[in-house]
Chain A
Amino acid sequence: MTVSKIWVHAEALDGKVSTITLELLAKARELGDTVEAFYGGADAEAIAATLGAHGATTVHATGDLGGTLLGVPVAAALAAKVAAGAGPDAFLFGTTPDGRDIAGRLSAKIDRPLLSNNVELDVADGKLVATTPVFGGTVNVTTTFAGDGPAIVLARPKSFAAAESGGGAAAVQALDVPADALGGTTIVERHVEESTGPKLDEAAVVVSGGRGLGEADKYEMIETLAKLLHGAPGASRAIVDAGWVPYAYQVGQTGKVVKPTVYMACGISGATQHLVGMKGSKNIIAINKDEEAPIFGVADLGIVGDVHKVLPKLIEALQSRS
């Protein structure tokens, strides 16, 4: 059984649709008869083909918001659709900054509950069923919506596999924003923290460093190793908080979820909040000098050893091969 109509929040950067959006569209096709997208921004034409190729028949787009932060205008536009009886049975968002802003405001506006941080979605008796991990991913809680009105669901990135549907470009339709929803909070400047090489959440290999590296300078070993393996460097929160690397590198509950072919944890203890972000990796290698470190509980290859001894030799061995 499916729900009749699902609207997926489309996110894009510089005309490129975000991976999370493609993941949500793929899942939405399993759950709903009709899958459409909605988008806050001016360049919907540029993304309509990609959205269509992943299963959205229509993209409801606000058009230029004059730099207004998305939460207020997009939630107001969606609430107006719901009020007019022209909304979907379920709204699907990624657990991203904009997704959470819009979903939160929408929930308050239309007085409907939302379920956040989900990793699995299903349909039972014509209603959405959402599963959320708790206690660092050791327990799953499954919840259904009750009462009338649309369901609002947020899913964590990397929960579903993106897949093309072979559809043609999505039809762009206007999503009207009430005038008083514009201009409240505006973006005056965007900063993109460039990292070279593959993106952390898309790389086939992720090499992460933690406090066990001892000092900020030693993170260079992680970067070198990541480059040698054509992967991306990552980090535990401990060293992000310590200012060794930017937040964009953080893996875990409050950082990125990664599912690479190989995840290498160097000097990382394996706190549940870190495990949540990486234990879906296909293969895990851990190097830690404490044989009791929890990271070994999820490692396919665990090395009880000193990162300052193992990593330089590993780097040398890889360099001599290339």
Chain B
Amino acid sequence: MPPMNVVVTVKQIPDPAEPGSLEGDNTLNRSGKLILDEADSYGVEMALQLVAAAGSGEVTLVSVTANGEVSGLRSALAMGADKAVLVSDDAIAGSDALGTAKVLAAAIGRVEGVDLVLCAVEASDGYTGTVAAQLSELLGLNSATFAKHVEIADGKVKVQRQTEAGFDEVVTSLPALVSVTAGVVEPRYPSFKGIMAAKNKPVDQVTLADLGLDASQVGWGGARQTITAVTPAPAREAGEKIVDEGDAHEKIVAFLEELKVI
């Protein structure tokens, strides 16, 4: 089998377990330690499996961030990815999905001989869910999105693509971009050896200027949208709460009757 070179886009995000907050300019507060978005751990695992199946090739990570953070990348390197490109630049702050896709496209352009680009369907923090489509258009690649199963054979990638009704089997030729859903594969936990090895794996740190991108194309200026209001959503009031004494089902039946559901 020919070698498989896979690029995985990985987003580094604030820990979703911590309550999120907004900055004064209404962007998500991304200061402090960022972690590997769990949504992208599926792409990393998928890439590792595809390269292993091909017998040779490399997994390259690409990440875009305003604050130079690498801890999320190190987690993915510890899983077994070979190297990473980190685009870090103050001007990236405030980038929207299209701005991010432009930076990702330029960064992926630096990686040679790419057969496959893997993204997650949607990031856990913003969940715009459009970067994969935007990126494939900018790279001029065929894409198979919303994959819950991925197979590669004879220069083609076959994907089970989730739909509203079930799934479609779709096929496209390599090179291509595939966006994967959570659960497409079971991500491995990094081994101690992997964690140690990750410390010495190459991370190519580049700026927008290195990529030939103008700061006006990304960040707030490039986004061409203005946040006009941030308001608390109306909270739902809790109603009655009872402890089951063996007759809670009667309460439910009465409630359903009252609502004329039964």
Contacts and interface: CB of A to CB of B under 8 A. Distances in A.
A240 to B, nearest CB: 8
A166 interface: no
Given A105-B136, A188-B170, A318-B262, A299 B239 contact: yes
B256 A262 contact: yes
Nearest to B178: A185
Given A187-B170, A305-B243, A143 B225 contact: yes
B98 interface: yes
Q: Kindly name the residue among B133, B168, B244 whose own CB sees the greatest number of chain A CB atoms within 10 A.
A: B133
A218 interface: no
A303 B167 contact: no
Given A97-B163, A262-B259, A321-B262, A116 B130 contact: yes
A91 B231 CA distance: 26
Given A145-B224, A262-B261, A108 B129 contact: no
A292 to B, nearest CB: 11
A310 B248 contact: yes
Categorize the interface residue count of chain A. Answer: 35 or more
Interface stretch (B59-67, B73-81, B142-150, B193-201): B142-150
Given A108-B98, A113-B98, A313 B249 contact: yes
B253 A318 contact: yes
A229 interface: yes
A247 interface: yes
B166 A191 contact: yes
Contact of A247 (B19, B134, B162): B162
A277 B45 CA distance: 28
A113 B248 CA distance: 51
Given A71-B143, A241-B183, A139 B231 contact: yes
Contacts of B176: 185
A103 B164 contact: no
A161 interface: no
In the complex, the 10 A-B pairs of residues with the closest C-beta atoms, listed nearest first: A104-B133, A305-B244, A108-B137, A300-B239, A302-B241, A193-B166, A104-B130, A185-B172, A314-B249, A313-B249
Interface of A: 11, 13, 18, 69, 71-72, 75, 95-97, 100-105, 107-109, 111-117, 124, 129, 133-135, 137-147, 154, 184-193, 204-205, 229, 237, 240-241, 247-248, 253-254, 261-262, 279, 283-285, 287, 291, 296-306, 309-310, 313-314, 316-318, 321
20 contacts: A97-B146, A102-B133, A104-B97, A104-B137, A108-B135, A112-B224, A114-B98, A114-B130, A143-B227, A145-B224, A146-B225, A185-B170, A186-B171, A188-B170, A300-B238, A302-B238, A304-B241, A310-B252, A313-B248, A314-B252
Given A100-B133, A185-B142, A192-B166, 8 more contacts: A107-B134, A108-B138, A135-B20, A185-B170, A188-B171, A291-B241, A301-B242, A317-B249
